[in-house]
Amino acid sequence: MSAIEVTGGISLQGEIEIQGSKNAVLPILAACMLGEGLCVIENCPRITDVTDTLEIMRHLGCRIRREERTVCIDASGVRAFEIGGAEAARIRSSVLFLGALLGRMKRAVLPHPGGCAIGARPIDQHIAALRQLGARFYLEEKITADARDMQGGRVCLAVPSVGATENAILAAVTVPGETVISHAAREPEIDELCEFLRRRGASVARTDEGDIHIRGGKRLGPVRYRMKPDRIVAGTYLLAAAATRGKIHISNFPYRELDALIAVLRDMGVSVECGKDGIQLTANRPLRAIPYLETAPYPGFPTDLQSPLMAVFCRARGESRICETIFENRFRTVKELERMGAKIRTDGNCAVVKGIPALAPAKLTAPDLRGGAALVIAALQANGHSVISNTGYIERGYEDICRDLRALGAEVRQNGKEIQ
């Protein structure tokens, strides 16, 4: 079992380049199943979620070549439409193959994707959206879907679900007719999926009202596409620099995607300058607490940065309150932070963090992907040697968090990490 060792108390300084986006590449990989053209994805992050997704695609008949951060996918040989339980259990985002398989094979069979560390993760909105396009579902011990009668139409989501929006897009681009997805999620990853599909020949775009408008049935051709950087990884490193009173620069980053985080950092007294070449952060004074903040769908404060921000609140001056409105079980980092002396009380979906002068080093266990990153941020602040286990969670979304933090001067190392 690998572990990350951190010697804290060092201010992060320097320049960092951000890996390709996990939450954008996963739906884009599913979109490579559509049509028969060769898809070449550049700047594809070397993370285990990608490794697991490519394994599923191989089982479905794709021929895949992966060299460093370039993945070549030939889906011309796809004949299967069933995803096995073991594969789907390894990665929840296998549910994104529901829309892709219906689009490509007109049929799909996959296990009910279970919940995960952060919540029940239902898929009722995915099913409702695809039903509105005419897909038929048989929900026995497996999800069986038939899309032979699927056609363009109006899809209205009750919840602006990122995954349900992506599944509706993946199915609708393949069926003739006009589709409008209203109440669609606004996360940048949706727009990157649309850009990728347009590059293949699809007619898909977001309207001024935020709906997704599709003219389906166009032939999808080959594409070479370079992934944009990961906004949650960038936000994680900005928070780590703020927590350690550091000074870092993130080059050529679409900073508007982090507006909500940048506003919070500035309210905490951190200097954040944004320009065409990226983001410059300088934190040279004690951080102010934030009296109230809640996570929200984009462009609100991202739920994926809630735990990393909580680790920063632990040493801010005053009492901060953060409410988690997206997932029901995303405070599992609290008890680990308390082992470092953090003063946190939870009340339903809100946590109140009373800032203290110092966190103590400790032996910690990552509770989930972003909670693990939060513990790294906490350990960077503690004067002494901390060890974080269960790092497999972190490797799902961060190529090499230790490599990146060492580039900024941190004393961190990981034993037992497999290169993806």
Binding to ligand EPZ (CB under 6 A): which residues in 239-298?
A: none
> From the list 69, 104, 106, 126, which residue makes contact with ligand EPZ (rule: CB under 6 A)?
126
Q: Tell me how far, at minimum, the Cβ of 223 lies from ligand EPZ, in Å.
A: 21
Q: Tell me how far, at minimum, the Cβ of 312 lies from ligand EPZ, in Å.
A: 17
**Residue 303 within binding range of ligand EPZ, rule CB under 6 A:** yes
Question: Which region, judged by CB under 6 A, interacts with ligand EPZ, from 18-26, 58-66, 237-245, 316-324?
Answer: 18-26
Q: Tell me how far, at minimum, the Cβ of 230 lies from ligand EPZ, in Å.
A: 9
**Residue 123 within binding range of ligand EPZ, rule CB under 6 A:** yes
39 assigned to active site: no
Element holding 241 (H helix, E strand): helix 231-243
**Residue 229 within binding range of ligand EPZ, rule CB under 6 A:** no
**Residue 122 within binding range of ligand EPZ, rule CB under 6 A:** yes
- φ/ψ of 24, rounded to 5, equals -95, -35
What is the β-pairing status of strands 107-111 and 142-146? antiparallel
What are the CA-CA distances from residue 8 to residues 361, 394, 409 (Å)? 8, 19, 11
CB-CB neighbours of 262 under 10 Å: 20
If you write DSSP's letter for every residue of 1-30 in order, what string do you get? Answer: --EEEEE-----EEEEPPPBPHHHHHHHHH
CB-CB neighbours of 140 under 10 Å: 7
Question: Which region, judged by CB under 6 A, interacts with ligand EPZ, from 21-29, 194-202, 252-260, 343-351?
Answer: 21-29
Provide the sign of the torsion angle of the four alpha carbons 147, 153, 156, 162, taken in this order.
positive
| 191: Cβ contacts below 8 Å, ≥ 6 apart | 206
Q: Tell me how far, at minimum, the Cβ of 152 lies from ligand EPZ, in Å.
A: 21
| 204: Cβ contacts below 8 Å, ≥ 6 apart | 169, 172, 173, 194, 197, 198, 212, 213, 214, 215
Mark residues 147-166: x for contact with ligand EPZ by CB under 6 A, - for none. ------------x-xxxx--
Q: Which of 72, 116, 323, 350 is catalytic?
A: 116
**Residue 326 within binding range of ligand EPZ, rule CB under 6 A:** yes
**Residue 93 within binding range of ligand EPZ, rule CB under 6 A:** yes
**Residue 215 within binding range of ligand EPZ, rule CB under 6 A:** no
305: left (phi over 0), alpha (psi -120 to 50) or beta: alpha
**Residue 125 within binding range of ligand EPZ, rule CB under 6 A:** yes
Binding to ligand EPZ (CB under 6 A): which residues in 26-55?
A: 26
CA dist., res. 375 & res. 390, Å (int): 11
CA dist., res. 162 & res. 66, Å (int): 27
| 180: Cβ contacts below 8 Å, ≥ 6 apart | 154, 155, 207, 211, 212, 213, 214
**Residue 97 within binding range of ligand EPZ, rule CB under 6 A:** no
> From the list 87, 192, 257, 304, which residue makes contact with ligand EPZ (rule: CB under 6 A)?
304
List interacting residues with ligand EPZ (CB under 6 A): 22-23, 26, 93, 119, 121-126, 159, 161-164, 185, 187, 189, 303-304, 326-327, 369-370, 397
Residues annotated as part of the active site: 116
